[in-house]
Amino acid sequence: MGATMIGLVKEHRGPGAILKEVPIPTCGADEVLVRIKATSICGTDLHIYNWDAWADKTVVTPNVFGHEFAGIVVEVGERVTGVAIGDYVSAEGHMVCGSCKACRTGNAHVCPNTRSFGITAPGCFAEYAVVKATNIIHNAPDLPFEIACLQDPLGNAVQTVLSGDIVGKSVAIIGVGPIGLLAIQVAKACGAGTIYAADINPNRLELARQMGADVTINAMETRISKAVREMTDGEGVDVVLEMSGNPQAIVDGFEAAANAGRVSLLGIPTKEVSLDLTNQIIFKGLRVEGITGRKMYETWYQMKGLLNQKRIDLAPVITHRFTLDQYEEAFQLMNQGQCGKIVFTH
C-alpha cells in the first residue's frame, strides 16, 4: 500500500510508549491488510507499557503493540481465499505453525512455535494492521466496532468458564478486571448457579454486580476462602475461576474450592506461588485447568453463538473511550484500576 500511518510504538525497552509516524505494513501473499476501526487495551498491553520482567523477556521491540481490534479489510494477498476487501473482521492473535504435535492434535492454542500479534509481531494500535488470512474472524454486520474488538478477551473468559461443567454449579470468580467481568456474564448465560465475585477494588465489585454477580466479596475486608465457605455451609464452591494472578488470591481460590471441584487459572502471577498440594488439591480431588488464549477456533464459535443470540451484553464493561493520541491518560487509568474496559476509537 505504501505511505505512512500513525501508530503507538513500543520503541525502547523500558516504561512508556511513543505515538509516531510509521510505514503502513506490507500485505503478504497469505495476509490481509485491515483498516482499524476500534481497539481495546488488554492487561498484557499494560505489562508492555509498564515494561515488567515478563515484557522484557517476551516482547519484540521496536513494534506497534495492541492485539484486540475490529476493522475493515482494505487489501488481500494473492493467495488469500475466503476473505475479501470490505469484509468486517477481527482476528485470533496467536499465529501458530500448524505442523507441531499440539497443532495437529487440536491444541493449536498451546503451539510452542506461536508468534503473537502485538507482542512478538506488529499489532493494532495504529491506523492499519496486517493479519494472517487464516486468523481472520468475520463479524456480524450489526455488531458494533467497540464490541467486536472485545472478542479476544471475551474468548479468554469463555474458555475459562467452559473448560469444565458449569450448569447449576456455584462459581467464584476471583479478580473482576475486564476478563473477570466478562466471565460473570458468560457463566450466567451458560447456566451457572450462584456466582461469587471477589476483588479488592470497590468500583470493580460494583461493575461485577451490574454484570450479574449474585454475591460480591471485598478481599481487603475479608479473606475470600473464609467468606465463600461461610456462605456455602462450609462446602466451598464447585468452580473457581482465578483471574487476578495475585499469589494470595490463588491460594485462597484453592482453599475455597469444594472437594471434587474445578479450579481454572487464567491470571498470571508475577512470582512463584506456594501451594499445599497434598491438602488443597490431591486429597480434595480437584481438577486444575491452565488457561491460555482461546481454543482455535472452537472458542470463537462459542463466542459467536453467545453474541449473535444476544445471550450476553458487553456494553457495561466498557467504561472509557479515547482516541489513540490520548493513550497516556488511558494507561494511567489502567494502572490505577479505575476502569473496566478501555476502547480506542479510530
CA distance 245 to 116: 21
Q: Catalytic site residue 47?
A: yes
What is the C-alpha R_g of the chain?
A: 20
For the chain, the residue count is 346
For this structure, is 61 an active site residue? no
* 3-state class (DSSP) for residue 266: coil
Cell 476502569 sits at which residue?
Answer: 339
Nearest to 244 by CA among 227, 226, 220, 260: 220
Dist CA 196 CA 213 (whole Å): 6
Task: Name beta bridge partners: 197.
Answer: 173, 216
In the chain, DSSP assigns E strands to 4-10, 18-23, 31-40, 63-64, 68-76, 88-91, 94-95, 115-116, 128-132, 136-138, 171-174, 195-199, 215-218, 237-242, 257-265, 287-290, 318-322, 341-345
Per annotation, catalytic residue among 47, 67, 109, 346: 47
What angle do helix axes 202-211 and 178-189 make, rounded to 10 degrees?
Answer: 20
Instruction: Given the residues 4, 26, 44, 94, select the one marked as catalytic.
Output: 44
Cell of 81: 481465499
- CB of 242 within 8 A of CB of 253? yes
Q: CA-to-CA distance for 296 and 97, rounded, in angstroms?
A: 12
- How far apart are alpha carbons 161 and 264 in whole angstroms? 8
d(CA 236, CA 229): 5
Between CA 188 and CA 215 the distance in angstroms is 13
Q: Is 217 helix (H, G, I), strand (E, B) or coil?
A: strand
Active site residues: 44, 47
